[in-house]
């Protein structure tokens, strides 16, 4: 039963990853600042585990690129696939390994996932852009991963812990205390 529940949760999170960007998609600058696709991927890692989180994270931007041509497949969706795969895996892995699953472990797992995902995004962007003869500087990495992402970082740090704790209180996910 747990596998079916996790698969269903992953499917819902994948669907949310396709739909949420439409909310901010009318204004691309806001959409890229809030990173709405990241939210269901992170949540999937917490609720369905690292394997499902990684799978949803990898598929989500690629599927959205194929279906809606946004984000552009190369290099954006490809780099995002690795970034979100990392988000989903690391958030789920760290949360599962926590001795106590409480607000502190949610924040620890979330921040770990956000940092790891951004580093992976930077490495993949560097590889992809250098392979095509374009440059990807450290300043471009800092701007793309942190400076321009401040609104998304704040949104994730506020919304994800609230949702995970609410799902724990509702019994949807079992938290170890």
Q: Write out the chain's pLDDT in tens, 177 residues.
A: 789 999 999 999 999 999 999 888 777 677 778 899 999 999 999 999 999 999 999 999 999 999 999 899 999 999 999 999 999 999 999 999 999 999 999 999 999 999 999 999 999 999 999 999 898 889 999 988 888 899 999 999 999 999 999 999 999 998 988
pTM of the full structure: 0.94
Q: What is the pLDDT of residue 144?
A: 87
So where are the chain's domains?
2-170
Per-residue model confidence (pLDDT) at position 28 = 67
Calpha distance 56→52 (Å, rounded): 6
Q: Does domain 2-170 have CATH number 2.40.30.10?
A: no
129 near 75, Cβ under 8 Å?
A: yes
CA-based radius of gyration for the chain: 16
């Amino acid at each position: 039963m747990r596998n079916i529940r996790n698969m269903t949760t992953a499917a819902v999170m994948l669907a949310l990853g396709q739909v949420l960007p439409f909310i901010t998609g009318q204004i691309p600058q806001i959409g890229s600042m809030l990173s709405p696709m990241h939210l269901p991927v992170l949540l999937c890692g917490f609720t369905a585990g690292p394997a499902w989180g990684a799978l949803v994270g990898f598929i989500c931007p690629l599927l959205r690129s194929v279906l809606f041509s946004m984000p552009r497949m190369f290099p954006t969706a490809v780099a995002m696939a690795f970034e979100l795969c990392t988000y989903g895996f690391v958030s789920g892995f760290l949360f599962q390994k926590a001795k106590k699953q409480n607000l502190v472990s949610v924040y620890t797992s979330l921040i770990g996932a956000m940092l790891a995902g951004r580093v992976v995004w930077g490495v993949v962007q560097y590889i992809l852009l250098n392979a095509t003869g374009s440059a990807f500087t450290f300043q471009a990495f800092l701007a793309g991963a942190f400076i321009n992402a401040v609104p998304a970082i704040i949104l994730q740090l506020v919304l994800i812990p609230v949702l995970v704790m609410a799902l724990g209180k509702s019994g949807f996910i079992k938290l170890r205390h």
